[in-house]
Structure 1
Amino acid sequence: MASVKKRPDGKWRARYYDAAGKEHSRHFARKTDASRWAADQESAVQRGVHVDPRAGRETVKAFAERWRTAQVQHRPRTARQVEIVMRVHTYPTLGDHRMSAVSRTAVQALVTSWASTAAPRTVVMRFAFLRAMFASAVDDGVIGRSPCVRIKLPEIVKEAVVPLTVEQVRALHDAIAKAYRPAILVGAGCGLRISEVLGLTEPAVRHLARDLDVRWQLSEAPPWKLLPVKTTNGVREVPAPAFVLDALSTLTAGEMLGTLLHRGDEQWEPISARMVHLAFADAVEVVNRAAERRKRDRKARRTTAPELPSVPTGTTFHDLRHHYASTLIDGGESVTVVAARLGNDPAETLRTYSHLFPDSAERTRRIVDAAWAPADPQDQADGLRTVGE
């Protein structure tokens, strides 16, 4: 039961008890203010939304560090991202603020400052971590409500995927260093992520079943580990074409982790994603230089050889995954099958590749036209003449 009493110094003392029986009090110059505060706090206790007024005095940095280190579900990469977002992009602005003093306006100002120097997708990722931290503070009773509400985020303009052609992929395969060529074939022929390709071991390549058992991925940095794939959808069996199985059959497992793609030195360390990305970038330059040189030679009539394929600047290993998805779509596979092969959610797959699926109206017309088409072309001509008569 809340109470308000006048103190000898003339101030009014408001007092109430929380759900745990702990007493809380505050002093006011006016009785009206004291009564209002006590009534508000008692109402919050009865509704189960009471927040200890002293809990919000903890700084953003102090709470965020407690929250960050308690997230056992975060994978190593995510944990590093959260640490960087908090230390580099949040603490300099909000770190010394009390949790209860952070307003929606302050969060919006922080997000706006991020948007001036970072890509929209990066800003959205940073805000997701910040919002999760404040949501946890609400659940812990540190603050009454999260300031991360109605925050305006930059629009992510998602460009339509333009998949690489087979000729472009072959050119990249031939241009890259020999040690990385099996990775190119697995990426283009099975659609695996780079970490999944580097995590392949001998048992994962099932020649009799003619598929790849995808369950593990290589950690991004030392100490090297084989980690479970990121999501439950990621665990899958991917049919492997002959050229992929042939490329993998020539490899031997490394002694460190048993991965098929390794450096082959005394340490037997696996090939890292960074090494593949650098080699891939070099291959893109080699392909484009060769294409430009051939174009100049043809223009100067120094050769009659056909033009060579070029690839867009900024093409990465992940584009091999888009190539694989487009190949399945062109072959008539459904969005459910494409998502299963990629280890993606079907909704995400449809959002990414919807423009590559055949137009349903045109497909309907073709189906009905095919059903009604006469077996003999002469019959069709006779039918047309009959209608004309």
Structure 2
Amino acid sequence: MPDPIPTFLADLENEGVSPHTVRAYGADLRAWARWYDQTTGSQALTAADPRDIRDYQGTMVRQGLKPATINRRLNAMRRFYKWAVRKGLIDESPFEGLRVGVKAQKQAAPKWLTEKEQRRLLRAVREYGKKDWVRDMAIIRLGLDAGLRLSEMAALTLDDVELNARSGWVRVRYGKGGKAREVPLSLDARKALAAWLEARERHPYADDPHLFLGQRGPLSDAGIYRIVTKYGRLAGIEGLTPHTLRHTFAKNLIDAGEPLTVVAALMGHESLNTLAIYTRPSREDLARAVNRDL
């Protein structure tokens, strides 16, 4: 039987699943396929049974993979086998009636930037960005002021940005789970994007529809990640990633008293439970509480 994974991934694309999610599913399923081949001597994933699933989970635990990684891989596999049943490749999913998954430890408050760190980061872009600082400022602002995910920023096109005299919006066409949303832009974000759009007109790849361009064309996820982490180092902010900027966006909104329903919509979250991590106080919040003048 031909490898069913490419057909499964193609069907996901046709369903409108984001390219980032499709790539992640592909990587997770190929990891499962390698393990299955090495363990059973068979490449026929459709022959897997519940015992194979449990054994694979045990292997991942022994390898020290994070619970989130293990659960993500199992979810990709579960969806693959549900698809295989619909396609008539198998009669029953090996996940049928099977309870698998790793319970994560209680999640600590995520890393977000303090106001002082946000100012340091923006200053680092202006001071060290050289000829690319205008583009890089637009990237940082979309993370801090719009909460876009890394893959969402990389997928943006010129048509996804709407700038007016007193307002602006960015359209996320393929958010997590294939869900689209629109996010309003702050004044600072509008200024940063307007400056980049003006500079972008002189770029060698200006005819490309992607919003963010590098030396060889559109910036990839990895390219944007490197830009953000570079400024984190220059600003002396350890472990800064694009997701840190997204966490900071959410934290700023919650600290400003915005309703959780509004924050969830802006972040692209369906469940308010997802926002609970942002209401959990960080070490900085606790220190500020006990040092506040009464």
Letter in 2 for 1:334: P
- Long gaps (5+) in structure 2: 282-294
Between 1 and 2, higher relative CO (CA 8 Å, sep ≥ 6) is seen in 2
Are residue 248 (structure 1) and residue 205 (structure 2) matched?
no
Tell me the equivalent position of 1:146: 93
Q: Which residue of 1 aligns with 2:250?
A: 325
| In the alignment, structure 1 residue 261 sits paired with structure 2 residue 212 | yes
For 2:122, the equivalent position in structure 1 comes to: 173
Q: Secondary structure at the match of 1:250?
A: helix
Question: What SS does the corresponding residue of 1:315 show, helix, strand or coil?
Answer: coil
Paired residues, number: 259
Secondary structure of residue in 1 paired with 2:235: helix
Identity %: 22
Listed one character per residue, the Cα deviations across residues 16-47 of structure 1 (whole Å, up to 9, x for unaligned) are xxxxxxxxxxxxxxxxxxxxxxxxxxxxxxxx
Conserved in 1, the CA contact under 8 Å of 2:254 and 2:279? no
The 3 A distance-change label for structure 1 pair 195 and 333 is same
Q: CA RMSD in A?
A: 3.0
Offset of 1:285 from its aligned partner? 2.4
For residue 212 of structure 1, give the secondary structure of its aligned residue in structure 2. Answer: strand
**Cα deviation 1:58-86 (Å, max 9, x = unaligned):** 6xx74555544444324433333333333
Whichever residue aligns with residue 130 of structure 1, its letter is M
Alignment CA distance shift 1:135-1:95 (3 Å): farther
Which structure 2 residues correspond to residues 1-389 of structure 1 after superposition, within 5 A?
62-64=3-5, 66-71=7-12, 72-73=14-15, 74-91=17-34, 92=37, 93=39, 96=42, 102-117=48-63, 118-148=65-95, 149-157=97-105, 158-176=107-125, 177=129, 178=133, 179-198=135-154, 199=156, 201=158, 204-216=161-173, 228-230=174-176, 234-238=180-184, 240-251=185-196, 252=198, 253-254=200-201, 255-263=206-214, 269-288=217-236, 311=237, 313-355=238-280
Which residue does 2:285 correspond to in 1? none
Q: Secondary structure at the match of 2:213?
A: coil
Q: Which residue of 2 aligns with 1:308?
A: none
The TM-score with structure 2 as length reference comes to 0.74
Unpaired stretches in structure 1, ≥5 consecutive residues = 1-57, 217-227, 289-310, 357-389
> Hey, what's the Cα distance between the residues in 2 that align with 1:258 and 1:285?
31
1:90 is displaced (CA, Å) by 2.2
Question: Bigger CA drift: 182-191 or 134-143?
Answer: 134-143
Is the contact made by 1:85 and 1:126 (CA closer than 8 Å) also made in structure 2?
A: yes
Deviations 1:330-372 (A, max 9, x none): 111101111122222243543442426xxxxxxxxxxxxxxxx
When normalised by structure 1's length, the TM-score is: 0.58
